[in-house]
A and B are shown apart, each in its own frame.
Chain A
Amino acid sequence: MTTDVILKIAISGVLTGLIYGLMALGLSVIFGVVRVVNFAHGEMMTIAMYLVIVAFNALGLDPLIMLVPISAVLFALGYLMQRAIINPFINRPEHSQFMLLVAVALVIVNALLLIFGPDSQGVTTSYSFDSFDVGGIIIDAGKVYAAIAALIVAVLLFAFFRLTLTGKAIRACADNYNGALVVGLNVKRLYALTFGIGAACVGAAGTMLMIVTDVTPAIGPAYTLLAFVIVITGGLGSMPGAIIGGVLIGLTEALGGFFFTPSAKSMFSFAILVLILLFRPQGIMGRKAA
């Protein structure tokens, strides 16, 4: 095994991890503020992936061009979902919220199955088969574009929460719910906005994933599980943690698959999860519960 091959696999793992990180970022944002665990997270991403298919097949639009429009559609979907379905469950027991979101996930999977059928579908862009040769190391061009886009979206999101008034208001809701109510913040609206932002993240991640992989209606639950592994590893509710967790999982799966056996790739990410739960239950970037 040459160093080139190992380096190539490590880079590929980091690039894939950045896209996974963006997906998990949505889950982390929603949980960090609304305190609802979105069990339909991966399924919502498959909606975005199918929107890419529709836009590509009907209008020939490249996924990179569709990044903003599809994120906007998912934002609207998340906003409406929170206002109409999730809001009434905010103060209900966690198992009620769990059942609600699992039901939403099942509805999404079966609706997509009815509309698009069970076969996998993908898009073939002008750069789908391209790769860069950097000093003998071959890097997938699609993954590079998707990872750069994921990084830009993540930076914009950090800036939104740090620099804008709305972002600060959302963080205030997350830090102190009662305090936010006392100072007159419209918490319900901010919750819906947060859910919309989380959904937009997942929309962006789904759009970018279509550059590197295909989609089937049944793939949603696997992405939901992956998002959970990443956010727990990175720290539930921590935005940088989601990105770091994504990169760590992507890298672990790639190198673990290469040095041991590829069919056990997931085993390595779950092994990381177990170690984190044992030795740092709050995750890499998470804060210890008071």
Chain B
Amino acid sequence: MASKTRVTRRTFTAGLGAAGIVAGTAPFNIISAQGAPLKVGVLLPRSGAQAGIGQDCQRGVDVTAGLLKDLKLPALQIMNGDTETNVEVARARAERLINEGAQLLVGAFDSGQSTAIAQVAEQKGIPYVINIAAAPPITEQGYKFVFRNFPVAGRILADAFENQIEIFKATGNAPKTAVFMHVNDTFGTAMQKGISAVSAKFAADLPYKIVETIAYDGTARDLSVEVAKAKATGAEALVMVSRLNDAILITRELIKQRWSPKCVLSMGPGWYEDQYLKTLGKFGDGPMSFVPWYDPNKKLTKALDAALAKAHPGVNLNTNHVYTFEALLVAADAYKRAGSADPKALADAIRATNIKDNVSPGPGIQFDAKGQNSALKNSAIQNRAGKLVTIAPASASNAKPEHPMKPYDKR
């Protein structure tokens, strides 16, 4: 039996009123979304093996609010998440943050953890801006909600060799042989394979030949044997892929075993970190590191450096601060242009990002169809008097390279 629906005067009035309420408040919803801070879940390894790095990235988060205000960008409501340096925990924390209302995710320093978060973000349809993670596959999956403002491993290595060639040409002095030492963990082994492959492409221009490759245990308590073996090769340069603790141990051994290579060329962390400089004092000067860095001449770099110096006196601006800050900058910029916190609108806005006033080297922040900022450049930095100076590329440098480095016994 068909039911008869009759529109009475009372129904019509109620409907009109309801329509009026919806029509009247909808614009306010948009305005309130724009006025309210964007809820950003920041996932970092705040405990576990990478806790120190996670806490360092947090320093980049700490200084963001003031800088966004100066840039007239909307405020962000930060929701902290700890990945505990664990892939599965990273996945679970990402899900929890989304369930608790996070409208965008940022993090997570490590490629494995970032891969897990990317899967969750894509599944839930929440935009995710990676701060630091170099594994290429993350942005090769056809994801629509995942963006990365950090160079991939191949780009980092290619730039490292380009910058080395530039430095050796500029100083008119190049080593002819090198010994390559690397940690034997996942990172070190991947870098060793990458360096072998990429250096072959630069063979015609690269002045040195790697005479021996020495893998070592990054958790070793004593690296005297490794350094003795490296010294015995008689190589002029030392190419390193290490972490902080082993970088300190190796430097101590270089001094104690009375070996001063012409240069130390580091393609990983350790040699430029504050703890390295603080622990070794004058013996920490000299090594060159080839890393994703910042352009010291950009206006926003100076503002970020000043904000960090105020919030954390004595801490040198580094990769962790820069790329975590820039991930949040991308979020705030996209939120402003999207005009709402709708995930799809945010993702579309991030895809259309074109930030010229930024910190990292290169033309600025833009994302390609894969969600990767492929225009990023990497830098060569050198430790000088306990500080870090950028020596290449020349277009984003603030000092001339010092090569060969001063021998340890002459300091």
Residues of chain A at the chain B interface (Cβ within 8 Å): 1-2, 5, 8-9, 12-13, 16, 113, 117-120, 122, 124, 128-131, 133, 138, 140-142, 209, 212-214, 216, 218-219, 222, 253-254, 257-258, 261-263, 265-266
Report the separation of the CA atoms of residues A181 and B176 in the bound assembly, to the nearest whole angstrom: 74
CB pair B215–A138 under 8 Å, yes or no, is no
CB pair B221–A138 under 8 Å, yes or no, is no
CB pair B228–A9 under 8 Å, yes or no, is yes
Contacts of A2 in B (CB 8 A): 232
CB pair A262–B229 under 8 Å, yes or no, is yes
CB pair B275–A119 under 8 Å, yes or no, is yes
CB pair B217–A124 under 8 Å, yes or no, is no
Q: A5-B228, A119-B244, A254-B225 are in contact. Are A263 and B49 (CB under 8 A)?
A: no
Contacts of B252 in A (CB 8 A): 128-129
* B218 CB, nearest partner CB in chain A, Å: 9
Contacts of A113 in B (CB 8 A): 51
Interface string of B248-263 (1 = CB under 8 A from A): 1100100111100000
Report the separation of the CA atoms of residues A124 and B281 in the bound assembly, to the nearest whole angstrom: 10
Within 8 A of A (CB), among B203-254: 214-217, 219-226, 228-229, 231-232, 244-245, 248-249, 252
Contacts of B51 in A (CB 8 A): 113, 117-118
Contacts of A258 in B (CB 8 A): 225, 228-229
Tell which of B184, B279, B283, B408 touches A263, judged by Cβ atoms closer than 8 Å: B184
Tell which of B214, B219, B279 touches A262, judged by Cβ atoms closer than 8 Å: B214
Q: How large is the interface on B (under 10, 10 to 19, 20 to 34, 35 or more residues)?
A: 35 or more
Tell which of B215, B222, B256, B258 touches A213, judged by Cβ atoms closer than 8 Å: B222
Contacts of A131 in B (CB 8 A): 256-258
Contacts of A213 in B (CB 8 A): 221-222, 249
Tell which of A5, A133, A257 touches B232, judged by Cβ atoms closer than 8 Å: A5
B52 interface residue, CB < 8 Å from A?
yes
CB pair B245–A214 under 8 Å, yes or no, is yes
CB pair B248–A218 under 8 Å, yes or no, is no
CB pair A16–B215 under 8 Å, yes or no, is no
CB pair B258–A214 under 8 Å, yes or no, is no
Report the separation of the CA atoms of residues A261 and B189 in the bound assembly, to the nearest whole angstrom: 14
CB pair B222–A212 under 8 Å, yes or no, is yes
B408 nearest CB neighbor, chain A only:
A129
Within 8 A of A (CB), among B15-70: 49, 51-52, 55
Interface string of B267-286 (1 = CB under 8 A from A): 00000000100011101000
B246 nearest CB neighbor, chain A only:
A120
* A11 CB, nearest partner CB in chain B, Å: 10
